[in-house]
């Protein structure tokens, strides 16, 4: 089967890497891909959000499965357009992708399904939002309803800070229309984990869980990023917790979405906070996490393509997903300045030496090949150095040994990925 992966980051490199090992695969395309993905897939110069062009290409090439990496094409209707063209798509329809695309929708569904989540209220009017903030007090969380490139959440320590967030989102519209509506939530506390489930519209299978490191600085300081590193499995996610999350969060939401006529197919990513009172749902994403996906793919033992096809065809009930007992850890190398402004074009050397460290797989996130063949940085997050080991400590040591083999003066990474768990 021919497969088209949509996206061009580290997550998509990990997906392409796993798919390229499938016995069912005949040809692998990635749009737009990156310099690392080019080693395992044919990169196609179509942007991840150009839905009609992607579907045209898939039709022309006789692609049997389109795999969506990021959420944007899904909220734009990639799965719907594929269905109309008679092509399978791994990822939800636009109606089901609203679980990520609208925080208010997600909270409504969670409430209807009886899912444990933070208390919340939705506001379309800034004056009403301010009145609510003053009555509720701090700490409190203000979220732009729509997609805001991961920047739409403010965990405010004071009411003044929360009021500023309301002004920025609702009045100054720093996130555009995404901030016209806000969700204001109770502030929860506890460690966070990323929980992934494979869904076929009716049946959900738990995938592995991972812990992300969202802040840019060591010790979880500084601004939020897309994720600076991750490891899997997180020790907090016990068998009992996994069952609780499936029973109280994933399955009820799947049933509620089906009841609403928007069955969810693809990967449901539940961002959880493990509070003293039990796991609470913070958010849903309708795709794999980046960099969590990299940490998951190196542990997956089942054929990814077969699993994705089973999810598309409603055949997960009898599917057996296997994982290695190994631990994995990914360290993200980012361009200095990220998540703020950063320069592109710096030359990266030493990847062969990094890749030669036993257990290491280097996934490219934002890289490009210069005309002279040199590998250059081409994004904020640039590489995801991923390693497996018999223990988390071994995986961590291998990942940092590989990081140290890479020469890229304009880059940086956190040196404390997985440190607390080790
Ligand atoms: P989200 O995009 O909804 O996951 O929010 C981004 C980050 O904001 C999360 O990873 C949490 O660290 C934090 N956050 C979101 N909601 C809450 C909440 N209700 N209480 C405390 N922190 C939160
Ligand atoms: N690493 C978090 C995310 O992909 O949303």
Phi, psi of 114 (to 5 degrees): 70, 30
Q: What distance in angstroms lies between residue 127's CA and the mean position of ligand 2's atoms?
A: 32
Task: Give me the CATH number covering residue 250.
Answer: 3.30.470.20
Structure tokens at 336: 């200095």
User: Which has the minimum average pLDDT: 77-81, 149-153, 266-270, 387-391?
Assistant: 149-153
pLDDT at position 44 over 80: yes
Residue that the structure tokens 């036993």 belong to = 358
Name the average pLDDT for the chain.
Answer: 96
Which mutation among 292, 297, 339, 380 tests ligand 2's pocket best, with the greatest number of atoms within 8 A of CB?
292
pLDDT value of position 65: 98
How far is residue 137 CA from its own chain's centroid?
Answer: 31
232-246 mean pLDDT: 96
First to last CA, the chain: 41
Same domain for 235 and 283, yes or no, is yes
pLDDT at position 418 over 80: yes
Domain presence at residue 292: yes
Question: 165-192 pLDDT, tens per residue?
Answer: 999 999 999 999 999 999 999 999 999 9
Same domain for 199 and 243, yes or no, is yes
Same domain for 302 and 352, yes or no, is no
pLDDT value of position 220: 94
Domain presence at residue 168: yes
What's the CA gap between 147 and 281, in Å, rounded?
18
Q: What distance in angstroms lies between residue 142's CA and the mean position of ligand 1's atoms?
A: 9
Ligand nearest to the CA of 228: 2
Quickly state the pLDDT bin for 140 (edges 50, 70, 90).
very high
pLDDT value of position 224: 87
89-104 mean pLDDT: 97
Quickly state the pLDDT bin for 150 (edges 50, 70, 90).
confident
Give CA torsion, residues 164, 166, 169, 173, to 10 deg: -80
Identify the domain boundary among 267, 288, 312.
312
Which mutation among 68, 101, 210, 227 tests ligand 2's pocket best, with the greatest number of atoms within 8 A of CB?
227
349 burial via Cβ count (<10 Å: 0-12, 13-18, 19+)? middle
3-state secondary structure of 110: helix
Q: What distance in angstroms lies between residue 70's CA and the mean position of ligand 2's atoms?
A: 10
- Among residues 312, 297, 364, the alpha carbon closest in space to that of 19 is found at 297
| 139 cis-preceded (ω within 30 degrees of 0) | yes
Question: 186-238 pLDDT, tens per residue?
Answer: 999 999 999 999 999 999 999 999 999 999 999 999 988 999 999 999 999 99
What's the CA gap between 304 and 297, in Å, rounded?
9
pLDDT value of position 148: 87
Domain presence at residue 116: no
Which residues form the domain of 147?
125-180
278-290 mean pLDDT: 97
**Domain count across the chain:** 4
Domain presence at residue 280: yes
Q: Which helix H or strand E contains 412, and what residues bound it? A: strand 411-412
What's the CA gap between 201 and 99, in Å, rounded?
14
Cβ < 6 A, ligand 2 pocket: 212, 226-227, 285, 289-290, 292
Q: How many CA atoms lie within 13 A of 195 on its CB side?
A: 30
Ligand 1 nearest-atom number relative to CA 189: 21
- Among residues 93, 17, 27, 24, the alpha carbon closest in space to that of 61 is found at 27
71-86 mean pLDDT: 98
Domain presence at residue 73: yes
pLDDT value of position 333: 98
pLDDT value of position 263: 98
Ligand 1 nearest-atom number relative to CA 214: 10
pLDDT value of position 151: 82
Closest residue to atom 5 of ligand 2, CA basis: 289
Task: Give me the CATH number covering residue 332.
Answer: 3.90.600.10
Question: 108-121 pLDDT, tens per residue?
Answer: 999 999 999 999 99
Same domain for 293 and 225, yes or no, is yes
Q: What is the CA radius of gyration of the chain?
A: 21
38-61 mean pLDDT: 98
Angle at 19 between CA 328 and CA 95, to 5 degrees: 95
Domain presence at residue 84: yes
Instruction: Determine what percent of the chain is predicted with pLDDT higher than 90.
Output: 98
Query: How many helices (H) and strands (E) would you count in the chain?
Result: 14, 22
What's the CA gap between 148 and 100, in Å, rounded?
11
Ligand nearest to the CA of 223: 1
């Amino acid at each position: 089967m021919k497969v088209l992966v949509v996206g061009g980051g580290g997550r998509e490199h990990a997906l392409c890497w796993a798919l390229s090992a499938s016995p069912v695969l005949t040809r692998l395309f990635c749009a737009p891909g990156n310099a690392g993905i080019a080693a395992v897939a044919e990169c196609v110069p179509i942007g991840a959000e150009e839905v009609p062009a992607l579907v045209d290409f898939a039709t022309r090439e006789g692609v049997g499965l389109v795999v969506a990496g990021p959420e944007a094409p899904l909220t734009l209707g990639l799965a719907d357009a594929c269905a109309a063209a008679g092509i399978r798509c791994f990822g939800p329809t636009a109606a089901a992708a609203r679980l990520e695309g609208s925080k208010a929708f997600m909270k409504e569904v969670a409430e209807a399904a009886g899912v444990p989540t933070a208390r919340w209220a939705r506001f379309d009017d800034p004056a009403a939002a301010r009145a609510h903030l003053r009555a509720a007090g701090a700490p409190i969380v203000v979220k732009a309803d729509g997609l805001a490139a991961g920047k739409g959440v403010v965990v405010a320590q004071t009411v003044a800070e929360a009021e500023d967030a309301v002004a920025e989102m609702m009045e100054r519209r720093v996130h555009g229309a995404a901030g016209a509506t806000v969700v204001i939530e109770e502030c929860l506390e506890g460690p966070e984990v990323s929980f992934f489930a494979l869904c076929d519209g009716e049946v959900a299978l738990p995938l592995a869980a991972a812990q992300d490191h969202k802040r840019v600085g060591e010790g979880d300081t500084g601004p939020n990023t897309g994720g600076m590193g991750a490891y899997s499995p997180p020790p907090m996610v016990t068998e009992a917790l996994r069952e609780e999350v499936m029973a109280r969060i994933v399955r009820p939401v799947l049933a509620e979405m089906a009841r609403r006529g928007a069955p969810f197919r693809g990967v449901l990513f539940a961002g959880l906070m493990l509070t003293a009172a039990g796991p609470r749902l913070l958010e849903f994403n309708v795709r794999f996490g980046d960099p969590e996906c990299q940490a998951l793919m190196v542990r997956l033992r089942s054929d990814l393509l077969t699993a994705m096809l089973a999810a598309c065809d409603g055949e997960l009930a009898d599917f057996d997903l296997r994982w290695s007992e190994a631990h994995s850890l990914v360290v993200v190398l980012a361009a200095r300045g990220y998540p703020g402004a950063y320069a592109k074009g710096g030359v990266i050397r030493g990847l062969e030496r990094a890749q030669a460290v036993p257990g290491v797989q280097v996934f490219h996130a934002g890289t490009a090949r210069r005309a002279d063949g040199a590998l250059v940085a081409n994004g904020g997050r640039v590489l995801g150095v991923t390693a497996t080991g018999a223990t988390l400590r071994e995986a961590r040591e291998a990942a940092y040994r590989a990081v140290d083999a890479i020469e890229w003066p304009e880059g940086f990474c956190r040196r404390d990925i997985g440190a607390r768990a080790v």
